[in-house]
Amino acid sequence: MGLPHGLDGTVEGREYLTFRIAQEEYGIDILKVREIRRYEAPTRIARTPAFIKGVVNLRGTIVPIVDLRMKLHQDCRPVYSEFTVVVILNLLDRVVGIVVDSVSDVLRLSDEQISDVPEFEGAIEVDSIEGLGTVGDRMLILLDIEKLMSNVDMGLVAADA
């Protein structure tokens, strides 16, 4: 299967890294992903929100680690398994890690495969969702990870940066 091309020969759409948290599948812009690592317990920092698991030293860079399950489903207890990974992200001028249940694959989605987000109340602020992606029977929640991480309660990335 070839990549979708526009009339000028350019490749259409954007690529997303897809991952699972509980029964839901999410996607984030692959250009924000620096690397994917096996989960190792970070060093806990006192008086941080529960979803901030602590920090790790990544080749000399101190990286805060956020449990995305706890952030998105605030009443859930994290479950770490052999498939649990940390996705290291480059967000604005910061490096941040997010803990997810498992990584699925990288998908290219065209604009036609992405739907607008309906209005609803939920754990995620709607403006942190770019859209809903459809690939066959799969429905992906496409996160604007920079907006999600720049929320005031996160305190990891300045919202005005």
Mean pLDDT across the chain: 86
What is the model's pLDDT at position 151?
73
Question: What was the pLDDT predicted at 1?
Answer: 45
pTM value > 0.75 = yes
| Three-state secondary-structure class, residue 53 | strand
CB atoms within 10 A of CB 37: 15
Asked whether residue 40 carries a pLDDT value surpassing 90, the answer given is yes
Rounded distance, CA 90 to CA 29, Å?
Answer: 11
The 10s digit of each residue's pLDDT in 62-83 is 999 999 998 887 567 778 999 9
